[in-house]
Amino acid sequence: MKRALFLADRVALVRQACNAVKQHLPESSPVNLVTEKDKSGRVYVCTYPTMMGLIDETKPGANGFEAR
Q: What is the spatial distance between Cα 18 and Cα 26, in angstroms, rounded to a whole number? A: 10
Given this model, what pLDDT does residue 64 score?
Answer: 59
**Residue 3 near residue 44, CB atoms below 8 Å:** yes
Strands 4-8, 30-32: pairing kind = unpaired
Chunked in runs of 10, what are the mean pLDDT values of the chain (68 residues)?
Answer: 90 95 90 89 93 78 55
- Report the predicted TM-score, pTM, of the whole model to 2 decimal places: 0.76
What is the CB neighbour count within 10 angstroms for residue 57? 10
